[in-house]
Amino acid sequence: MEKIKRTAIVDLLKSSDYGKNVCVKGWVRTKRGNKNVIFIAVNDGSTIKNIQIVADATKFDENLLKQITTGSSVCIFGVLVESQGSGQTVEIHASTIEIYGTADETYPLQKKGHSMEFLREIAHLRPRTNTFGAVFRIRHNMAFAIHKFFHERGFFYFHTPIITASDCEGAGQMFQVTTLDLKNIKKSANGEVDFSEDFYGKPANLTVSGQLEGELAATALGLIYTFGPIFRAENSNTLRHLSELWMIEPEMAFYEIDDNMQLAEDFIKYCIRWALDNCSDDIKFLCDMFDKELIDRLNFVIANDFVRLKYSEGIKILEDAVANGHKFEFPVYWGTDLAAEHERFLVEQYFKNPVILTDYPKEIKSFYMKQNDDGKTVRAMDVLFPKIGEIIGGSQREENLEKLKKRAAEMNVPDKDIWWYMDTRRYGTVPHSGFGLGFDRLILFVTGMANIRDVIPFPRTPKNAEF
């Protein structure tokens, strides 16, 4: 028989070529049957759905059939047949079955219904579950939608470095990168580490953001975006923080804060619409399993305008809530950085809508944000989402060299680290804006998963870097 090429299950399930000889390869999810007939559910990762294989038990070697267990991998040739049973449209009547690899009773995914905590301990195998298959297919689709969105609008994908010497956000939460022998560090007479011996001849870190280099690109190419991993050594063990995460950072020459807000809103809505249109089986599964309101929530966000609100107005609403008896863990006053509980009150209880909060006190924001005329606030914007809190952080940038220099000095950003950044303001400076979307938080929102550790294949969090 001429060798038939493998067809992905996602395509087989759409096919109506009944009577055709086909080949399917994948992993066995379940096997049931009796001494006459065996039903095997096979999944190959191309879709959440399994294909049913029907085998005449009398025609196959008993030993072979025994080896078809949950988790084993198989190659099956057979005929595509319109299914009699409910729940599937087609099935395959097997003519040959080959086992690639067996899986014995120690395979950890025998039964359904494992806890998320347990599955995190076996993160090397969890992509084989329905849930994580769905999450990672959606994750891929979101990455694709992001590139498509920006490409269609004339943005260029720009690769910013992962190793850097500057602390963009100024929060000092950086992982150091070194080839120095930590057991044998050379120090000068006054106790300082001699970095001239280090790989770069000076201290280097993993980047917390590609923004500063992104601004260099935007002031040349006009519209750019970055999309890559960034690293933050903040010791936050929450449902929404990773120490290695993926961030998308568009940066746009000639955009002011209103243009920036509009782009952020269009961008998120585009991604969510893409997920609903292209990942419907996976989203429906997650909705049924974990979060009955997921699809309604996604549709709601697309259908409604985001609320636009100044920080000062937001504080006023929160203060009124406190005056009316609402209890927050953290105090509310003008000048404070909003806690997740404050953000979620505004979004989930007060407006019941995503909120773009702008014009924050300059003390709680980075040195590069455009200063307002009031001398107190900067043209920052945070996009706050139901269930997530902050999903985007961004701003219009300060384009005036003198103002920027002054603010950098006040915030102790050393000129030797950012002299090159300052050159964008020295030579042909322009108004410009940008923002950063936390990719993993977007996936959290789109999948309805509860913990950010469950939307990235191998999460990195404090005291956890397994796999």
Contact 214/207 with Cβ under 8 angstroms? no
* 443, 447, 451, 453: CA torsion to nearest 10: -50
d(CA 287, CA 275): 13
Contact 360/378 with Cβ under 8 angstroms? yes
d(CA 389, CA 393): 11
Count of alpha carbons within 13 Å of 448, Cβ hemisphere only? Answer: 21
44 binds, among Mg ion, ligand 4AD, none (CB under 5 to 8 A by kind): none
- Residue of 78, 386, 393, 448 that binds Mg ion (CB under 5 A): 393
Which helix (H) or strand (E) covers residue 152, if one does? helix 130-152
Residue 436 Cβ vs ligand 4AD, minimum distance, rounded to whole Å? 3
Q: Which region among 123-131, 389-397, 427-435, 459-467 touches Mg ion (by CB under 5 A)? A: 389-397
DSSP strand pairing (307-310 vs 244-253): unpaired
- For Mg ion, the closer of residues 91 and 251 by Cβ is 251
In one-letter notation, the amino acid at residue 160 is T
Q: Which of 344, 286, 346 is nearest to 320 (CA)?
A: 346
DSSP strand pairing (37-43 vs 90-101): unpaired
- For ligand 4AD, the closer of residues 249 and 399 by Cβ is 249
Per-state percent for the chain, helix, strand, coil, to nearest 5:
35, 25, 40
Q: Which of 85, 92, 114, 2 is nearest to 44 (CA)?
A: 92
Residue 407 Cβ vs ligand 4AD, minimum distance, rounded to whole Å? 15
Q: Is 399 in the site for ligand 4AD (CB under 6 A)?
A: no
d(CA 198, CA 455): 36
- For ligand 4AD, the closer of residues 7 and 166 by Cβ is 166
Q: Is 394 in the site for Mg ion (CB under 5 A)?
A: no
Q: Is 389 in the site for Mg ion (CB under 5 A)?
A: no
Q: Is 380 in the site for ligand 4AD (CB under 6 A)?
A: no
Q: Which of 147, 148, 136 is nearest to 282 (CA)?
A: 136
Which helix (H) or strand (E) covers residue 119, if one does? helix 116-121
# residues near ligand 4AD by CB under 6 A: 22
CB count within 10 Å of CB 239 equals 16
Residue 211 Cβ vs ligand 4AD, minimum distance, rounded to whole Å? 4
- Residue of 141, 160, 209, 447 that binds ligand 4AD (CB under 6 A): 209
* 100, 102, 103, 105: CA torsion to nearest 10: 160
Residue 390 Cβ vs Mg ion, minimum distance, rounded to whole Å? 6
- Residue of 252, 253, 263, 392 that binds ligand 4AD (CB under 6 A): 392
432 binds, among Mg ion, ligand 4AD, none (CB under 5 to 8 A by kind): none
- For ligand 4AD, the closer of residues 41 and 384 by Cβ is 384
Q: Which region among 20-28, 35-43, 434-442, 454-462 touches ligand 4AD (by CB under 6 A)? A: 434-442
Q: Is 167 in the site for ligand 4AD (CB under 6 A)?
A: no
Q: Is 213 in the site for ligand 4AD (CB under 6 A)?
A: no
232 binds, among ligand 4AD, Mg ion, none (CB under 5 to 8 A by kind): ligand 4AD
Per CB under 6 A, which of residues 223..262 are in contact with ligand 4AD?
A: 232, 234, 241-242, 245, 247, 249
User: Taking phi first (over 0 means left), then psi (-120 to 50 degrees means alpha), and beta for anything else, what does residue 241 get?
Assistant: beta
- Residue of 211, 219, 260, 447 that binds ligand 4AD (CB under 6 A): 211
Contact 257/382 with Cβ under 8 angstroms? no
- For ligand 4AD, the closer of residues 40 and 437 by Cβ is 437
Residue 45 Cβ vs Mg ion, minimum distance, rounded to whole Å? 35
Residues found near ligand 4AD in the complex (CB under 6 A): 168-169, 209, 211, 232, 234, 241-242, 245, 247, 249, 390-394, 434-436, 438, 440-441
